[in-house]
Amino acid sequence: MQKDNRKAAIAAYKERKACAGIYAIRCTASAQVWVGQTPHLDTIQNRIWFSLRQGSHPNRALQAAWTLHGADTFAFEPLEQLAEEESRYVRDALLKERAGHWQSTLDARAM
């Protein structure tokens, strides 16, 4: 990649808008569901899968299910994407409220 193209790609990456949202992780083998919230819905799956493969995910129940059943039995599902908010405080409060809604709706565990 040429230097100018690389700089343009880096600048475009830094300027992209992050989409906040709610997601679910489902284990088809055990029918367990975990619901989480994130300010970066487009990158959270890679982060979670990496920590699970390394055996270092902080949610011990999720890590134990991953270790027991294997990666092939897990699915990532974006549940809701939030509209862009000016205030970080408003966004975080809305994420928390919507995650609680999805946890009760899906009878899921929190991330």
| Domains of the chain, start order | 17-110 (3.40.1440.10)
65 has pLDDT over 80: yes
23 has pLDDT over 80: yes
pLDDT digits (tens, 9 = 90+) for 36-64: 999 999 899 999 999 999 999 999 999 99
Joined tokens for residue 100: 């609680």
pLDDT score, position 101: 96
Q: Which of 109, 89, 90 shows the shortest CA–CA distance to 99? A: 109
Local confidence band at 106 (pLDDT 50, 70, 90 cut-offs): very high
Mean pLDDT of the chain: 91
Q: Which residues pair with 21 in a beta bridge?
A: 38, 81
Place of tokens 């475009």: 12
- pLDDT: which is higher, 8 or 44: 44
Quote the CA–CA distance of 59 and 10 in Å, as a whole number.
33
pLDDT score, position 1: 58
pLDDT digits (tens, 9 = 90+) for 72-89: 999 999 999 988 877 889
